[in-house]
Amino acid sequence: MDETKTTCDYCNCDVCDKVRSDLEKIFRVLDIYGWLLDSYIVDFFLEDLWNKLPGEWQNTLDVVSPQELGKWILGEACERVWPLSLMALREVIRSLVINRNHNEGEAIKCKKRSSEGKSFNSLEELDSVNSNLYVNDSKFNNLFIKHVKTKKRYEIEKMSQILGDCALKANCKCVVDIGAGMGHLARVLAFKYGFSVTCVEQDPLLTAQAKKCDEQFLTSLRKYNPNCNGKLQHVSMTVNVNDSGEEVVNYLTKSFESEQTLITKRKELGLVGLHPCGDLATTLLRLYSNCAEAKFICIVGCCYMKLTRSGDKFALKGYPMSQYVSTLDNNEISFNALEVSCHAMEKHCDKLKEERFSDLIVHTYRAALEYMLVQKSSKLRRIQVNSVKVKNGMCFEQYCKAAVANLEPHKQPEDFYYTQPKIIQFLSEWNRVLVFGSLRLMLAPLVETCVLLDRFLFLSEKKLGPSLKAEFDCRVSPRNFVLISSK
C-alpha cells in the first residue's frame, strides 16, 4: 500500500489532506457500524436484527417516539437522555459528512483550482450577458417549464446558473449534455442562455421524444419571438465506462461536421450531467480527465448502488476511482449501503417529526411476510414479490395477498399463517423496524460522502482542481451535491 502511495502525485494542499484524513476516519466508523447498512430490512425478523444493536441502545430506542427520533437525528433539541455511544456516533457522523445544507458553508475546493475568468453570483447577472433573454418575462420563462415537474424545474434553474458560471470561466460556449433524457436542461441552455448544446442519450426513444419536444417548443417560441434561435442537436449513442475521451469527441465532431457547430470549429466543450445514473457519472469524469477538448465538467451523481465495484479485471470501476481510496484496505462499500445512501434522510426525519410515517409500516409488513415465506420454504428466501404501497388502512393480510399475487398458488402463504402468534407479535414491533431503518439512514450520508470524496480525489490526482458543494435543497432534490472542475 505504501509503495502505491509514493508513486501517485497526491495534492498536498490542506483541503486534500483533510479529505484523505476524513475518508480514513469514515471507513473506521463503517468498520464498526457498517453492518447496519449492510443489513436487509426484509430480514429484520428472520435475523433478529433488533437484538444485534447494543443493549443500551435497545433500552432507549424501545421507548423513543418517532417524533423524538426524527428531531434527534436532525440535531434538534430533545430532552431525552441518550446513550453516550449513540450520541457520539451521531456527532462523529455530523463532523465527517459533507454539509448537505445548501445555504451553509463553502465549497470543498482543492487549492490548485483556477479562479480565473468572470464569475456570476446570481441567475439574473448571468441572464444579462445574453441579449436574447427576457429575465422578468413570465411568458418567455414559462415556455421552458411546460411538461416539466416541479423538482426538475428547480434543478434546471440551479444547474443553469452553475453551468453558465463554469462555461464563462472556461471561455467555452459549447456544452455536451450526456444522459440528456428529454432535453429539458439543454433547451434552457441553448435557447435561454445562448450555449451551443449537443445532447447525448443512449435510449433512441428518448432522443426521438426530445426532438419532438424541441419542435413543440420552437413553435411556441417563434410565436413569441421569431428572432430568438438556439443551437441544439441530439444524438443517440452509448458512452461506455471504458471509452476514451478522444473516441467520444471524435464521434461527435465527425457526426456534426455538416452542421458547422461550435464543437467542430473549436473542438472545445464542457460536460454536464444532471443525475447521470451509476457508472455514467464516473464515465463522464474519466472522459473529462482524458479529453483535452473538455474544458470543464459540472456533474450531479445519483444511483450509487449501480456503480461497478468488481468484475473483469480490465473493467474500470465506478467505485473506487481515486488511487488513494483504492489503496485503503477497508474501502469496500456494499450494494445495500450504496442503495441506502440514495434515500432522503431529511425527508424521512420530517415524516417522523410530523407523524406522517404511516406508509413506512410497509417495511414491517414486508419483513413479516419474508418470515412467513421462509417458514413455508427456504427456497422462497428473498423471492421477488409485488411492490405494494400501504395506504387507506390496508391490513397486513391485504398487503400480503397483493404482494404475492404474482407467485404460483403453492408458494403463497395459507390463511392460517396470518394469525400465528409470532406474526402478530412481529406486527406489534413496527416501531422497532422504523427505528432500525432510521439508524441506517442516519449512517447513509457517510456512504455518499465516501463516493463523492473519492471522485474529488480522482480529479485532484489528475491535477484538475475539483470543487464540491451542496447546491440544491436536499428536501427538494436529495442528491444535491455538484462536483465541478475547470481546466
- The stretch 283-311 carries a mean pLDDT of 90
pLDDT of residue 274: 95
- The stretch 4-13 carries a mean pLDDT of 70
Torsions phi, psi for 138 (to 5 deg): -65, -35
Q: Which domains, and CATH codes, for the chain?
A: 118-327+455-486 (3.40.50.150)
Up-side HSE of residue 249: CA atoms within 13 Å toward CB?
Answer: 26
Q: Which of 7-21, 64-78, 139-153, 193-207 has the highest mean pLDDT?
A: 64-78
| pLDDT higher than 60, residue 477 | yes
Cell of 207: 432522443
Per the CB < 8 A criterion, the answer to whether 201 and 236 are in contact is yes
- The stretch 197-209 carries a mean pLDDT of 92
Reduced to 3 states, what is the DSSP secondary structure of residue 356?
coil
Model confidence at 168, pLDDT cuts 50, 70, 90, reads: confident
Torsions phi, psi for 300 (to 5 deg): -125, 110
Pick from 278, 194, 285: which is nearest to 231 by CA?
A: 194
| pLDDT higher than 70, residue 234 | yes
Model confidence at 264, pLDDT cuts 50, 70, 90, reads: very low
Per the CB < 8 A criterion, the answer to whether 36 and 360 are in contact is no
Higher pLDDT, 391 or 276: 276
Percent share of the chain, pLDDT over 70: 87
- The stretch 94-114 carries a mean pLDDT of 89
What is d(CA 404, CA 459) in angstroms, rounded to the nearest whole number? 47
Cell of 84: 453516550
CA-based R_g, the chain, Å: 25
- The stretch 216-245 carries a mean pLDDT of 79
Q: Give the pLDDT confidence of 270-285 residue by residue, as tens digits.
A: 999 999 999 999 999 9
Average pLDDT, the chain: 88
Higher pLDDT, 301 or 247: 301
pLDDT of residue 391: 82
Per the CB < 8 A criterion, the answer to whether 202 and 280 are in contact is no
pLDDT of residue 314: 53
Sign of the CA dihedral with 281 first, then 286, 291, and 297 last: positive
Model confidence at 4, pLDDT cuts 50, 70, 90, reads: very low
- The stretch 208-229 carries a mean pLDDT of 87
Higher pLDDT, 424 or 194: 424
Model confidence at 228, pLDDT cuts 50, 70, 90, reads: confident
Cell of 179: 444522459
Pick from 154, 168, 187, 171: which is nearest to 121 by CA?
A: 168
What is d(CA 226, CA 233) in angstroms, rounded to the nearest whole number? 19
Cell of 390: 400501504
Q: Give the pLDDT confidence of 317-366 residue by residue, as tens digits.
A: 899 999 999 999 999 999 999 999 999 999 999 999 999 999 999 999 99
Give pTM, 2 decimals: 0.90
| pLDDT higher than 50, residue 125 | no
